[in-house]
A and B are shown apart, each in its own frame.
Chain A
Amino acid sequence: MNETAPVQSQGFYAEEMTISVGPQHPSTHGVLRFVVKTDGEVINEAIPDVGYLHRSIEKIGEKVTWHGYVPYTDRADYLAAMFANQVFCMAAEKLAGTEVTRRGEFCRVIACELNRIASHLISVGTFGQDIGAMTPFVHALRERETINNLMEEICGARLTYNYIRIGGVGYDILPETCTRITEFLDHFEPIVDEFNRLLSNNKIFIERLAGVAVISKEDAFSYNLVGPNLRGCGIKWDIRRDIPYSVYPELEFEVPVGTGQVGTLGDSYDRYWVRIRELQESCKILRQCLKMFPKGPAIAKVPRKFKPPVGECYARVEAPRGDMGFYVVSDGSEYPYRVRIRTGSFTAMSIIDKLSKGIMVADLIALIGSLDVDAPEIDR
């Protein structure tokens, strides 16, 4: 009576699960999306889907004047707005042959290095949070808050600075501000050590990152990784040192590269560690700049109707997310003919597809964090 039909042997099979990571997800650092195909916890494929933050900054560039475009460059990467300012102004100056005043150059470097510290703090802090450590994030933001205060003193804005103008900088850095920057550096340098004790040297943290998502040198070239991601692969390349611009040739600083100290060369920890070391290098640069700070005007005389001659030029700076390039074309009018922004996050994002095969879901989060991709910078 209670006879049941024999269980049909279907064979063991597992289905691939498709998960949509993002656009709203705690650790995609903005509005990103990955279509992830997983076999349980192991990722078979993670296809990045970008464009949610596309604001057509390049198209806007064709409709506003050269001076008027500077505030828009802020929005390309709002965590490191100063660099986009600088590289656009550098491109414009190169086209028009404008000389930047010496004090202006120093102001630029000081503001940029402060901004680099702020950006790297966000990067390493959120990275810690991605790995699950909540405290380092708040500590990093606490320090960044001080930098924001300093930035407010320097240029009146805390996030989108619009500080660097064609020919120099908008406002001079006052001596009181210089004192405060020195105070901040005195405070901040031990904090980096504390941060290392709290997070970087943590056994769990190292275990999570060592040997995860290793990028080879060939891949780094082929995918054109830049900045800390490139240096994390052991390639000593820093635009500040190798294609010198501004006053960087006069300054002494090291270019930290990944060494594979905890795992394989080019793993997630190396990329993280390069950023931590760069924090210290930026402090060094800042101290030198404050010591060498010359007197003089902060901005050169630039005509209000800025009309560079017909031509084109490509300028690059070492932004926190690597080589940021502006390709500007002028047709001799008040408006740029074309502005092209080439950012580090865009190329870093394109490598995730390749690296994500066979890693776990938690590693994908670590990978995104270690590449320090920034959604507004990808989509522009």
Chain B
Amino acid sequence: MEVQEIYQQLEKQFPGKVGEFKGDVPEPYCTVSPEAIVEISRFLRDDPNLKFEVLSDLTALDWPKEEKIQVVYHLYSYSNKSQIVLKVDLPRDNSKIPTLEGVWKVANWFEREVFDLFGVIFEGHSDLRRIMLPEDWVGHPLRKDYVEEEEYDGISTQRAPLVEKLLR
């Protein structure tokens, strides 16, 4: 099934909640509104024609210029061998989105990672803790404007320039 058709079906099913569709790129994607992501995913998973069984990937993109964080969902259907990319635009300062844990269990860890590295809060998540970084880490490193703290737990994070290091 073409991605175009899936998109049209989605638009019919969820009027007003599905945004723009981009089909002329290597990975066609469509934008959906944050509050509809759970029901759209559930529909995509359970619909007998679509059958998107798995959530291949869940990540985020930071666009400081447009003042938004995009959460990107890669869904894949083993039955139809088709992929669809869903994107959700969130504001940068207060990025909140419902969790997909109820639809795909794997979202638990993916969302923890996005929370850790981007600071997106997944509402309703059962165990939203940092996963990669220590619990007491400050900031979310994959945001474009992230600046490393001078030191962490008394350990300097600054690297001396090579020449200085050699002279010392």
Contact = CB atoms under 8 A, between A and B. Distances in A.
Interface of A: 50-51, 54, 56, 58-59, 62, 94-95, 219, 221-224, 235, 237, 242-243, 311-314, 316, 323, 325, 327, 329, 337-338, 340, 342, 346-347, 349-351, 354, 379
A242 B57 CA distance: 18
9 contacts: A58-B117, A224-B55, A312-B25, A313-B27, A314-B85, A327-B74, A349-B109, A350-B105, A351-B105
B105 A314 contact: no
B56 A325 contact: yes
A223 B72 contact: no
B25 A350 contact: no
Contact of A311 (B26, B130, B133, B141): B26
Contact of A314 (B27, B108, B132, B141): B27
Contacts of A58: 117, 142
B3 interface: no
A314 B25 contact: no
B109 A237 contact: no
Given A222-B105, A224-B104, A242-B81, A342 B26 contact: no
Nearest to B74: A314
Contacts of A62: 144
Interface in B36-66: 53-57, 59, 61-62
Nearest to A326: B57
Contacts of A347: 106, 109
Nearest to B25: A311
Given A59-B141, A95-B26, A347-B109, 20 more contacts: A50-B132, A51-B130, A51-B134, A221-B54, A221-B104, A222-B106, A223-B106, A224-B55, A224-B56, A235-B78, A237-B78, A242-B81, A312-B25, A314-B27, A316-B56, A340-B57, A342-B56, A342-B57, A351-B105, A379-B132
A50 B116 CA distance: 12
Interface of B: 25-27, 53-57, 59, 61-62, 72, 74, 78, 81, 83, 85, 104-106, 108-109, 113, 117, 130-134, 141-142, 144
Contacts of A94: 26
Contacts of B27: 312-314
Nearest to B129: A49
Contacts of B25: 311-313
B56 A223 contact: no
Given A222-B104, A349-B109, A354-B105, A327 B54 contact: no
Given A325-B56, A325-B57, A342-B56, A50 B131 contact: yes
A299 to B, nearest CB: 22
Given A58-B142, A224-B55, A342-B56, A329 B132 contact: no
A323 B108 CA distance: 19
Contacts of A350: 105-106, 108-109
A224 B142 contact: no
A36 to B, nearest CB: 17
Nearest to A222: B105
